[in-house]
Amino acid sequence: MTIKAASANRSVLAAILSAIITAQANAQESEIKPADLYSPKLITEMKQLHNAALSSDYAYVQLAHLCNNIGPRLSGSLQAQQAVQYVAAEMRRIGLDVRLEKVMVPHWVRGAETGELVQFAGQAPNTTHKIVLTALGGSVETPAEGLTAEVVVVDSFDHLASLGRGKVAGKVVLFNARFDKQMAAQGFALDAYGQAVAYRGAGPSAAARLGAAASLVRSVGGADYRLPHTGGFGYAGDAPKIPAAAVTAEDADLIAYLVAQGPVRLHLTLTPKTLPDVESYNVIADLKGSEHPEQVIIVSGHLDSWDLGTGALDDGAGVAVAMQAAQLIKRLGFRPKRTIRVIAWMNEENGLMGGRTYAENHKAEFANHVAAIESDLGAGHPVGFSAHINSKAFELLRPIARVLESSGAGIIRQSQNAEGADVWPLDTAGVPTLAPIQDHRTYFNYHHTAADTLDKVVPRELAENAAVVAVLAYAIASLPEPLPR
Ligand SMILES: [Zn+2]
């Protein structure tokens, strides 16, 4: 080694050391700075709130009432209306300022829904094969006596396009794209859902543009119990409205198997009705801030659910957790500087009219909306929270994660998208949005099915979610300054 080389190496080493020292200094600086904003009193209160949430069954009791006493809460239904009244009364009872804000919502009512294969290879004479299916929300009806047509199976939009009108017109199209169960098992169920749900959302109109008589989608979910998963979709303006349903994964496989052997004809009957829009409400309940009542932190979930189950996971749990956050803060006598606003959104599932209407009515106040939290991914154990927020504000949240660590919820993640469908319009307007990061590996097994019922919720895990939301909301509402935008 020459002297020159050694000296060059030393200067490289010096540069590395200096970089490390600078990084450490920066780390220390960013460690110290956020912590300074959290007074010892605030940290103590956050810990008390955390512990109180974990030992409270308030959220579970609320959820049980919504699911078991009231039942499914599809927009426009009597149960949805009852749920609005119930949440409003309960929030008044614990001492919040409550108002109902009007939202016009669609009123779609499920009817009969049956499917039978009436022709297929190897068929025993005079028999049919039952197909388990459910109408997608908003579907138009078939003739009362049903329709009968040959089924064509596709695995993608490209596949459908390659068939062209000649092979699709007059037929029932089955979109047979699989939900990626392995991806779900690895903790990315929402991404698996995002991939497959495209066919539920856009399939009916894509099929109708080629003249299809009806559209079926392989259920978007991970269950193996022959459960159909309903869900919303939209008819495109440039396509006829055709009946649309989801078949179970098992029945999609059955149909695909038989279609490979020869023509398969399906008799399909769906008799849902679309009634005129009705007046419904977002429930808005304020725990007023002591210093800046005009500054708002939203805690929320959506009160409407699909009609097949009782909407325990989707999203009674989110509403119950938001209710509990306010109830605990009230019960412990804490006084947040800013207003904590509980919102039970209406119509997330089939129109998003609650979120849209709130954004329309409150856009002048968005500068004072400090953050919006929504929980809408079930009630599984939370490992932390994610935030769609700028990096400076994100760093300020670290001390919150340290408090949540003791229940295994210490992870924080800066995300790239709005943290919830109802808070999406706020997010678009620049309001930071946050959500607990739930373990949702099994969420899509039950999502939008008849099996989304109270028993799927583990009381302890629901309480852990309430702890995350309560501590997060209270901390943000109590910092010396609003989160920077
Ligand atoms: Zn939901």
pLDDT in tens, the chain (485 residues): 333 333 434 343 344 444 444 444 444 444 446 778 999 999 999 999 999 999 999 999 999 999 999 999 999 999 999 999 999 999 999 999 999 999 999 999 999 999 999 999 999 999 999 999 999 999 999 999 999 999 999 999 999 999 999 999 999 999 999 999 999 999 999 999 999 999 999 999 999 999 999 999 999 999 889 999 999 999 999 999 999 999 999 999 999 999 999 999 999 999 999 999 999 999 999 999 999 999 999 999 999 999 999 999 999 999 999 999 999 999 999 999 999 999 999 999 999 999 999 999 999 999 999 999 999 999 999 999 999 999 999 999 999 999 999 999 999 999 999 999 999 999 999 999 999 999 999 999 999 999 999 999 999 999 999 999 999 999 999 999 999 98
CA of 311 to the centre of ligand 1 (A): 9
pTM, to two decimals = 0.92
Backbone angles phi, psi at 113, to 5 degrees: -150, 110
CA of 312 to the centre of ligand 1 (A): 10
How are strands ordered across the β-sheet holding 172-175? 129-131, 113-119, 265-270, 147-154, 172-175, 214-218, 244-247, 133-135
**Is 464 part of the annotated catalytic residue set?**
no
CA of 466 to the centre of ligand 1 (A): 17
Closest CA to 123 of 262, 312, 284, 273: 262
On the 0-12 / 13-18 / 19+ scale of CB atoms within 10 A, 159 is middle
Q: How many other CB atoms are there within 10 angstroms of residue 453's CB atom?
A: 17
Backbone angles phi, psi at 313, to 5 degrees: -75, -40
- How high is the pLDDT of residue 11? 43
Closest CA to 221 of 262, 187, 190, 258: 190
CA of 425 to the centre of ligand 1 (A): 16
Q: How far apart are CA 432 and CA 390, in angstroms?
A: 8
Peptide bond into 180 cis (omega under 30): no
For the chain, give percent helix, strand, coil, nearest 5. 45, 25, 35
CA of 279 to the centre of ligand 1 (A): 21
CA of 422 to the centre of ligand 1 (A): 9
Alpha helices (H) in 369-418, listed in sequence order: 391-396, 398-404
Residue 9 host element (H or E): helix 3-37
Structure tokens at 54: 């974990």
Q: Residue 192, SS3?
A: helix
Query: Which residues, 6+ apart, have CB-to-CB distance to 287 below 8 Å?
Result: 95, 96, 326, 329, 330, 336, 339, 340, 341, 342
- How high is the pLDDT of residue 35? 78
CA of 401 to the centre of ligand 1 (A): 25
- How high is the pLDDT of residue 36? 86
CA of 347 to the centre of ligand 1 (A): 10
CA of 92 to the centre of ligand 1 (A): 25
- How high is the pLDDT of residue 28? 46
Q: Which of 45, 90, 113, 348 is catalytic?
A: 348
CA of 448 to the centre of ligand 1 (A): 9
Asked if residue 110 lies in contact with residue 273, where contact means CB atoms within 8 angstroms, the answer is no
CA of 305 to the centre of ligand 1 (A): 7
Q: How far apart are CA 315 and CA 74, in angstroms?
A: 11
User: In terms of DSSP bridges, do strands 147-154 and 265-270 run parallel, antiparallel, or are they unpaired?
Assistant: antiparallel
Q: How far apart are CA 344 and CA 303, in angstroms?
A: 5
- Residue whose structure tokens are 């920077």: 484
Q: How far apart are CA 353 and CA 88, in angstroms?
A: 19
CA of 238 to the centre of ligand 1 (A): 28
